[in-house]
Amino acid sequence: MIRLAIFDCDGTLVDSQHNICAAMEEAFALNALVAPPRNAIRRIVGLSLVEAMRMLLPEAEDALHRQIAQDYKDAFFRLRSTGAMAEEPLYDGIAELLAALSTQGWLLGVATGKSDRGLAHILAHHGIADRFITLQTADRHPSKPHPSMIETAMRDAGAAIDATAMIGDTSFDMAMARAAGARAIGVAWGYHPPEELLAAGADIVVDQVDALAAALERA
């Protein structure tokens, strides 16, 4: 049986909150707006950019949402290309977990609100791109929690829904898994607290990377 484990990226595989917040603050400043508190910014991580701006500025018009989203992309790329960004480290144990799951016969994928370019950079930087057989990003899908990313990943892998799990740190990830009919495994080291993950449909929430392999077998 083909088994597929799909990972979110920001807040699940890598700790990217500093860079996300810095780029968001620059994007708001470019539009003469006061940036939201960093706690509010962290809460929208995982959504596509336009949807994130709708949550941060619910009373603004669509044109402004799209402008800030583009400014965020440009700011993120500029900060990275000039060396002004901090390293976005893998969480401790993630590289070893991916290697172990591959050895155990799991196929691995990513479903993220990042762009294709952003995801490719992260995976290449950490030397883990070859671990994944399917990469789904906001460039080609509706925002989470729409199930499109999971559905496409399953088609790529040839995996059935009852052999597919989504691993993520936000309620958006858990709701996406539920919408697709996949198992939902939450991680407690990211951007939404465990109680929100459970309320959004998580089958289980783990607080350590080395507990994920066992959770995948149980879920």
The three-state DSSP-derived secondary structure of 148-167 is: HHHHHHHHHHCCCHHHEEEE
Name the packing angle between helices 148-157 and 171-180 (round to 10°): 60
Q: Which helix (H) or strand (E) holds 139?
A: none
Which is the catalytic residue, given 8, 15, 169, 203? 8
10: annotated active-site residue: yes
Note whether 205 and 188 are within 8 A (CB): yes
Question: What are 47's strand-pairing partners?
Answer: 45
Which is the catalytic residue, given 10, 15, 71, 203? 10
92: annotated active-site residue: no
Task: Report the b/e string of 40-58 with b at 16+ CB within 10 A.
Answer: ebbbbbbbbbebbbbebbe
Give how far Cα 97 sits from Cα of 89, 100, 102, 189, 209, Å: 15, 5, 9, 15, 7
Note whether 103 and 79 are within 8 A (CB): no
Question: What are 11's strand-pairing partners?
Answer: none
Enzyme catalytic residues: 8, 10
